[in-house]
Amino acid sequence: MNVNAIKVEIRLFTKIGSPVRAYADVSLEVSEGVIVMIGFAIIEKNGKSPFVGFPSKAGTIRGKFFPVIDLQGDIRDLICKAILDAYGKHGTN
């Protein structure tokens, strides 16, 4: 399977006091079709560089979350870079 294109849609998030700056949805166009992953978070804490938080689901214990998507290898770096690049194009960092 070869990735033909990575498309990112950014949704800015402006809740005061939250380290989440935006959410991102990612579409991977591959030769066999399209894979859509919804709910990545762009997080920025204490003036540090933003980073990507992967989609997660709340558990039954308050404050405990579990991953919904896990990416391993080069594809993880490619997707994180695409998300941060798209976020940067919004003039937000």
3-state secondary structure of 77: helix
pLDDT tier at 21, thresholds 50, 70, 90: very high
Percentage of residues in the chain having pLDDT higher than 70: 97
**Confidence at 22, pLDDT banded by 50, 70, 90:** very high
Task: Tell me what the mean pLDDT of segment 49-75 comes to.
Answer: 92
Residue 60 domain flag: yes
Q: Is residue 93 part of a domain?
A: no
How far, in Å, CA of 26 to CA of 34, rounded? 10
Model confidence, pTM: 0.88
Tell whether the model's pLDDT for residue 92 goes beyond 60. no
Instruction: At 57, list the tokens.
Output: 């689901």
Work out how many domains the chain is built from and give that number: 1
Q: Which domain holds residue 19?
A: 3-88
Q: Is 80 a domain residue?
A: yes
Between the alpha carbon of residue 8 and those of residues 24, 57, 70, 86, the distances in Å are 6, 21, 17, 7
For residue 14, tell me if it sits in a domain: yes
Q: pLDDT band at residue 91, thresholds of 50, 70 and 90?
A: low
